[in-house]
Structure 1
Amino acid sequence: MSGVYVMVCAYRSVLPRVDLERLVVVDTRLSSIFLGRAAATIAEICFAMQLGLLVQQLGVHAGMPWVQRAAWAIPIFMVVAQGFCWHSVLTLNHITQAVESMLWAAGFSWMAALLGVIALDSSGWVNSLAIFGILCAMAFVAYVLVVDAPMYWRRYRHARERGQSYMRLDQGAHDAWHRRVRSGSWVAWKADALWLTPYFSFGVWASIAMACVPGV
């Protein structure tokens, strides 16, 4: 799962795009918004499963069967988020992109809560990893609440003020497959660089690290 996530991130970082704006740096067929979103869906589900497995295995080491079962709610949040993401990409409605971000934040909040339970009743490397996981999860939640979700909310409001009409799903699929707006301007990319940069750096290293945790 880590390998899939890393490979997809490599592909998407070489050919970056902003889905709803159909923004790309390199205008090729491989830069298709639809293709990139499909790859991202697979990769993000793999990453979400890694998070669930990590907490589940820490629950095993801590001797907490109910935590092991509850850990599988973590990827469920992220899988449901994919549906909202696809809706936004196909309809060009930023509000469901904001919902997607909030679902990721909810999943990480649940992860932090379970890790908190583990940290309170464990010791050694399990305790240390649980505490580290709590800090990382809450940092991500704070980022979503302060940066990510508000950005999509602003875009939704601006689109409504401009009277933007939304696409049907079939129209959006055709548009996402074919339309690309090429730009190398920093002005066009700077807002999305706030999520693209950590996604393709910290996210990748986190995925690799989870695959290398000893004892899990």
Structure 2
Amino acid sequence: MTISVFSWWSLLCAVAGLNILAWLWSASALNRRQGLLSAEAYGWRRWQLLLSAGYVFGCAYRSFLPVFDVPRLCLFDSWLSSVIVGRSVATIAELCFVTQWALMLREAAQATRSTPGRLASNVIVPLIVVAETCSWYAVLTTANLGHVIEESLWGVSAALLVVGLLAVWPRLAVAQRPLLALWCVAGVGYVFYMFGVDVPMYWARWLADEAHGRPYLSLAQGVLDASSRWVVSHRWADWQSEMVWMSLYFSVAVWLSIALIHVPTPAPARALLRLVASRRPAERALRY
């Protein structure tokens, strides 16, 4: 293994280890806070903790055993490094992560009675289920067009999350708005990265494959190939194009997943509380 690739892999492993420790600390911290939270608030955070575990440990696995899916490249000669295993782990982890997004938005939308926020939270996970299907299509057939659609749907889902959070903004307590702004900024940055870097990269790869008349695999051929063939490579040139997104994905994205465990319980703005209180007598009168 070249020094440059070994250094990069060592960094991924070190970050993965720290992320696991951070998750374990978060689990302990949530347990200590249980008595300070309502049953409903603790339930939301318990789900965040469990879903974050899926993402943290899934990304740790992929950090220890990196795989470049379409060309079937890996660092270690083991079936555990096969694409079929790596993509299965990735699918579970990514569905956990996006469900965390949806739950955060759903909790905030319920607390503030935001219909747009609630609707956005309903759409995000189904979109990523379609995205994961496209990812599997790309991985099995080796056609990067599937990745183009997959990454586009991730970008759209992040944009919907930002729209949902912006809808919640005016209904949320003033003290909690700066944190909401940070999540919006992170979401906007992610959208720009996906449509400015990731989607164009896969689009360029697909165009290059089409120009060279690359033959694609059928789904059945792809399952066999992804299960039985892996190519060990320690060359910088083979991994260079994947290093940026893997490094960010297995670090910053995991930190966001862990941070969602600690998001404060959403509190509606005072004006919204007064409006709800003023409507209650009229609602009771209508019942009688």
**Do both proteins adopt the same fold according to a TM-score greater than 0.5, normalized to the shorter chain?**
yes
One-letter amino acid of the structure 2 residue matched with residue 42 of structure 1: I
Q: Cα gap change, 1:33/1:209 in structure 2, threshold over 3 Å: closer, same or farther?
A: same
Q: 1:100 aligns to what?
A: 150
Rounded Cα–Cα distance in structure 1 between residues aligned with 2:127 and 2:105: 15
Q: 2:164 aligns to what?
A: 114
Q: 2:73 aligns to what?
A: 23
Note the aligned Cα RMSD (angstroms).
1.3
Q: 2:28 aligns to what?
A: none
Query: Which moves more between the two structures, 180-189 or 100-109?
Result: 180-189
The offset of 1:114, in angstroms, is: 0.9
One-letter amino acid of the structure 2 residue matched with residue 96 of structure 1: G
Rounded Cα–Cα distance in structure 2 between residues aligned with 1:98 and 1:27: 29
Query: Which moves more between the two structures, 191-200 or 116-125?
Result: 116-125
Rounded Cα–Cα distance in structure 1 between residues aligned with 2:170 and 2:265: 19
The offset of 1:26, in angstroms, is: 1.1
Matched residue SS, 2:152: helix
The offset of 1:124, in angstroms, is: 3.0
The offset of 1:125, in angstroms, is: 4.2
In the alignment, structure 2 segments of 5+ residues that lack a partner are 1-50, 267-288
Please give the residue correspondences for 1:22-101 in structure 2 after superposition, counting only pairs within 5 Å. 22-101=72-151
Whether the 8 Å contact between 1:61 and 1:126 is mirrored in structure 2 is no
Within the alignment, does 1:150 sit opposite 2:189 as a pair?
A: no
In the alignment, structure 1 segments of 5+ residues that lack a partner are none
Q: 1:189 aligns to what?
A: 239
Rounded Cα–Cα distance in structure 2 between residues aligned with 1:17 and 1:168: 21
One-letter amino acid of the structure 2 residue matched with residue 169 of structure 1: L
Aligned residues: 216
Please give the residue correspondences for 1:204-215 in structure 2 after superposition, counting only pairs within 5 Å. 204-215=254-265
Kindly name which structure, 1 or 2, has the bigger radius of gyration based on alpha carbons: 2
Please give the residue correspondences for 1:122-133 in structure 2 after superposition, counting only pairs within 5 Å. 122-133=172-183
Whether the 8 Å contact between 1:118 and 1:127 is mirrored in structure 2 is no
Q: Quick one: percent identity of the two aligned structures?
A: 34
Return the TM-score normalized by structure 1. Answer: 0.95
Whether the 8 Å contact between 2:116 and 2:167 is mirrored in structure 1 is no
One-letter amino acid of the structure 2 residue matched with residue 199 of structure 1: Y
Return the TM-score normalized by structure 2. Answer: 0.72
The offset of 1:67, in angstroms, is: 2.2
Within the alignment, does 1:8 sit opposite 2:58 as a pair?
A: yes
The offset of 1:102, in angstroms, is: 0.2
